[in-house]
Amino acid sequence: MEHLDLTPYRCPEPLIMVKLWLRQAKNGQSLAISLSDPGSRRDIPAYLTRLGHRILVSEQTPSCLHLQFTVGEPSCC
C-alpha cells in the first residue's frame, strides 16, 4: 500500500494529487492519505465516496485526518 502525506499542502493541491494517483491506480489498489487542510479533509472523502471507493478512517484529530481507501470497492452502509 502506498502512502501520500498531503499535510503540507492546501486546497486544491491534495485533491489534484489524489486525482493524479487515481489515474494510474488499478482496481483493488489501496492508498493511505494524511490531510491537514480543513477543506481537503471534507472534500476528498466526499469525492472518493462519490466515485464509489471504499474509505476507512484510521485516525482523526482536530488537526489531521488519516484515511485509507481501496480503488473500486464501494463503502458499506
Would you please indicate which residues are annotated as catalytic (active-site) residues? 11
Buried b (16+ CB within 10 A) or exposed e, 42-76: ebbbeebeeeebbbeeeeeeeeebbbebbbeeeee
Cβ atoms of 58 and 67 within 8 Å: the answer is yes
